[in-house]
Amino acid sequence: MARVAYNPYLPSWEYVPDGEPHVFGERLYVYGSHDVADGRSYCPGDYVCWSVPVDDLADWRYEGVIFRKTDDPSNADGSAPLFAPDVAQGADGRYYLYYALASMMQGKPSHIGVAVCDEPAGHYRFLGNVALPSGAELDSDSGYGMVFDPAVYVEDGQAWVYWGFGMPKASPRMPVASTEGSWVARLSSDMVTMAEEPHRLAPAKLQAGGTSFEAHPFFEASSFRRIRGRYYFIYSSLQGHELCWAHAESPEGPLTYGGVLHSNGDVGMPGKPTEAEATYYLGNNHGSLVELPDGRVFVFGHRHTHGHQNSRQGVAEPVTIREDGFVEQAEMTSCGLNGGPLSAQRETPAYCCCHLRSSEGILHYSSSVTWNEAHPHVAQDADAGAATSAFAYVHNLRDGAEAGYKYLAFTGEERCVCLEMRGDLSGAVSVRLDSPDGPEVAWVPVECGEAWAWTGDPLLAPVEGAHAVYLITQGEGACDLRAFAFAKE
């Protein structure tokens, strides 16, 4: 059978958030930071790269480690993590990696490091730190905001670097620099030294009053793209879970707020105006747009697993851009890069859920919330720490929990639904179409055990066409769900 592009798009054991997608040659490369399963801090891993042919978005290839924490000479002991990076091809044909070494974790000013490589996914060699026109190193004490989440954009051989942070107020832990929004500077031909002084770009909370950004002020995750002849600045707003976009008149601005591009809980989609209606557990977001050679446009972002913010997985969705350049918000799905719905008859991994709620709703992981056992989450098992032998599943589905999948294609030939489960649930799973309150097409009695096992039941009526599928847990106890499928017999 042909390969399928699930969402998240990388293997279930891989955690690459903050994804910046770029097309170089005939491949799409994603550069991001590197979390781990059930991690206890952001970005503990070295930078890795994954790529895929632009004409087969299911055939992802691991390119290996491209830059280690210890490759930065100021981080020889590897104690500072590598936060979100970006990559661009310079006028000399080489590839330049811009990254934020999180020196603030040791109480030091952060800087933007630059590394270089002759190919998109080789091992990058440290080149230097971004410097002001005077030659002094740019850091968070330079007077140009907090040096965080750098991005790079190159056009006709000219490069610009972006950075910034947007806390709503300063604190002993977060200085005034962290409240000043985003910045941009044009680089000289060495790709390290600025050709002119930086200037402000997108406003944070303290500067956004009375501007088009007031309701969605800049927080972090700067990114810049040119799509179909128009400039777009992409960023994460103060809401945290959403990526927003702004029109830019040039790579240096000015900017006009455009709209929400992606929310990792679908907040802002029809029928979901607030976080109370979110369909997946909320947390920070970071990503960007990419246009493929055939004209298709996708947004890359990330979602959260393991019941917290430190184990994030990349997701991607197709994007619709209107004739006037307006970018419509992308819906969260389970089939993002697939080019259409998944086959209902194929075994669908449960971790690809794009809808996950408990009977108590969802949580926003970046808020001051109290986690409790009512809530499900995506988790994984691993053998002796060997990540690639792990598999992911949905953990702790209790009475009233909902796991949803968009979209599955039915032929009308399916006769039963099969679920792979474990746990101590004594009850049933209601299978519904189109919404959690939609028509019920199966009622599967469940008596789970400790080991993974399949159970199933006939469909109540034939189903045809593409539908969202929702699995609603009912009964006493809890279960884990690893996969499901709709079979012909």
Which residues form the catalytic set?
18, 220
DSSP calls for 133-161? TTSPBPBTTSSS----S-EEEEETTEEEE
75 φ/ψ angles, rounded to the nearest 5 degrees: -130, 45
Closest CA to 479 of 416, 419, 435, 433: 419
The tokens for 297 are 């446009």
Going from the C-alpha of 401 to that of each of 133, 185, 423, 436, 441, the distances in angstroms are 56, 48, 15, 10, 18
CA distance 280 to 242: 12
**Residue 179: helix, strand or coil by DSSP?**
helix
Please tell me the distance from the alpha carbon of residue 164 to that of residue 171, in angstroms, as a whole number: 17
Give the pair of three-digit tokens for residue 200.
């402000």
Residue 174: DSSP 8-state: S
Given a contact cutoff of 8 angstroms between Cβ atoms, the answer to whether 463 and 413 are in contact is: no
Tokens of 314: 């990349």
Bridging pattern class, strands 342-343 and 402-411: parallel
The string over 293-317, giving b where at least 16 C-beta atoms fall within 10 Å of a residue's C-beta and e elsewhere, is: eeeebbbbbbbbbbbbbbbbbbbbb
For tokens 């030659």, name the residue. 135
Kindly give the pairing relationship between strand 479-487 and strand 416-423.
antiparallel
